[in-house]
Structure 1
Amino acid sequence: MNEFIFIFNSIILPIGIIVATGYVIQLKLRLDRSTLAKLSIHYVMPAFIFMSLYESSIDFSLLLNVMLFLILYAFLSFILCRLIARFMNIGKDRTVLFTNANLFYNAGNYGVPVNDLVFRSDPYAMSIQVMLVVFQNMFAFSYGIFSLSAKNVGRTKALLSYFRMPIFYGLALGLIFNYFHLPVPAPIETALEYIRNAMIGLVLFILGAQIAGIKFKRLRWSAFVGALARLVIGPALALVMLMLFNMEGVVAQVILIASAMPAGVNSSIIAQEYSDDPEYAAEIVMMSTLLSSVTVSSVIYIALAIF
């Protein structure tokens, strides 16, 4: 119990304070959330991803295995969510939203700060987390849009637009500079380091502001189940898979902790544009985020104890 309280106080509570600050300031000042999101996507995250990959000791075969693991994890999560939705007799549109909220967890705005605090800014642990972030972003804005926009046009354009985003080039250049041991000029490296240091506080603030912009009038039982599925079934599935694949150490810890993250705001944003019932996705995001303070602390404890 003492270790659980320590994890909550030293990791979850500081994150909650910054998220709550962003939430309150957004309610008071009505900041432009679109601009805040662009600031994260086009300024902070690319530099953070590049520097995290550039400075880490990357085993490229291991990273390939991690990506294959994530694909299988997403596939099995999809099947489980569809079975749960079918058992609960959820409508077709809400079944897609229920599934997406479980597939697209908050590996970035929430997961990255948790990783940074748990592993004390370890570049190796963060390089694994970066791969999770990239996978989640590509997955959300490819399958996430395809799954909801069958009646719309421009899906290919939406998918291809990801490859014009700075985050993609931060990933690609970070891997290239690392693999070929290319030096970064000192002034540029210093500038990128300053930007990276601003990332944690900024993305958590933005997360709070984004949550403040999510509106819903009720909480449906199936949405509550969706939140629990994301927070409990998600990490339980990851734990079983990690044991079956004999993965261990920091890699297993990072993946298990990341699998416990709440539903990503991306699932709600995509639903607002492509779904007839975006409020349902918002319910799952809000409930999973609120409950995650307890469940994430528990999964961190389990990950560090088992692996």
Structure 2
Amino acid sequence: MIGVFIDIIVPVFILIGLGVVLHRIFQFDLYTLAKVNIYFIVPGFIFIKLYETAFSLALFLSVLSFFSIQILLLYGISSLVSRLFGYSRSVRASFTNSILFYNSGNYGVPVNDLVFKHDPFAMSIQVIILTFQNILTFSWGIFALKTVEGNKLSAVLGYFKMPVLYAMVFGIGLNLLNVDVPNFVLIPANYIADAMVALALVTLGAQVAQLRFARNLSVVYVSLILRLLLGPAIGIGIIYSLGIDGVTAQALLISSAMPTAVNSAIIAQEYENEPELSAQIVLASTVFSMVTVTIVISLSRMLF
């Protein structure tokens, strides 16, 4: 377990730490960083990974089944908890997003790469999860935040302004149609994709650097329990129920243990819905995930 922590978790947190240091020195504009991530880095990464990943229908359906059941269960539980604790509509939206949207990209991708030692099959599983997560985040996640103001039509139309949607459509479409994308497009797309992990983790570090724990700590604690503990526990149950095993089972379980996504804080800041609370949850879940993700990685190797 110590080896897992040093070889897999520490490299991720070195980049987060650099983001903290750089922000304190240069005072980054977090709003601009959020725009760069949403409108530039994430779409480029999604496009290139989906275009280059070899898809198997059986694998795709297996991952889709796992993801769908997991999200439905987590949504039901988070909604029930929100009502039991009497959270306001704005807090309820950010709280639910913090449970449903986990860091499958700028945390999950490097962890998968390190755990499975650059195995393209394992990475294809993570890319599919990342795709589903982005579809969910930039559709339901934004819809939930904007409907707090009651503007449902604007929430729906707002999704079609997100370039990640078109990146996913083009990535999958060109892949399935076996279209050869010219090098003058692939080269810059690969540069963008290569920048995602470092820039996203540095962005997370910059967010961490400006956070202050001031209120709603009880919401943060409940979110931690559901995301970091209940998330992988539900994942294990679904994996056994669906009869998934081997590398697929390991990759899905590890993915389900990821902390709350940076994107949940980014869209909360973008749409001004409890941005401080969302950022606090991202910070706390990311810090505590150093322990929980290490345990889940070790557990995945024992169980599957």
Q: Same-fold call, TM > 0.5? A: yes
Out of 87, 91, 96, the residue aligned to residue 87 of structure 2 is 91
Alignment match, 1:139: 136
Q: What is the count of residue pairs matched by the alignment? A: 302
Aligned-partner SS, 1:194: helix
SS of the counterpart of 1:105?
coil
SS class of match (1:131): helix
Of 18, 21, 39, the match for 2:18: 21
Corresponding residue SS for 2:160: helix
- The one of 104, 113, 116 aligned to 2:101: 104
Within 1, Cα distance between the matches of 2:262 and 2:19? 14
TM-score, L = length of structure 2: 0.87
1:176 is aligned to 2:173: yes
- Which amino acid counterpart does residue 244 of structure 1 have in structure 2? S
Name the SS for the 2:159 alignment partner: helix
RMSD over aligned Cα atoms: 2.5
Structure 1 gap segments, 5+ residues each: none
- The Cα of 1:57 is off from its aligned counterpart by 1.9
Which of 217, 221, 234 is the aligned partner of 1:224?
A: 221
Match in the other structure for 1:53: 50
Contact 2:147–2:155 (8 Å) recurs in 1? no
Of the three residues 78, 82, 91, the one matched with 1:81 is 78
Tell me the TM-score normalised to structure 1 length. 0.86
Tell me if structure 2 keeps the 8 A contact 1:101–1:284: yes
Structure 2: stretches of 5+ with no match in the other structure:
none
Q: AA paired with 2:40?
A: Y
2:244 to 240, 243, 247: 247
For 1:275-301, what per-residue CA distance to the aligned partner results, in whole angstroms no more than 9, with x for missing partners?
4x5544333222111101011111111
Match of 2:113 among 102, 116, 120: 116
Measured against aligned partners, the alpha-carbon deviations of 1:14-47 in whole angstroms (never above 9, x if no partner) come to 1101011112211221112232233333333333
Distance 1:177 1:304, change over 3 A: farther
Which letter maps to 1:74? I
| 8 Å Cα contact 2:213/2:280 also seen in 1 | yes
| Counterpart contact for 1:52–1:126, Cα < 8 Å | no
Runs of 4+ in 1 over 6 A off after TM superposition: none
Say whether 1:67 aligns with 2:64: yes
Cα distance in 2 for partners of 1:149, 1:246 equals 38
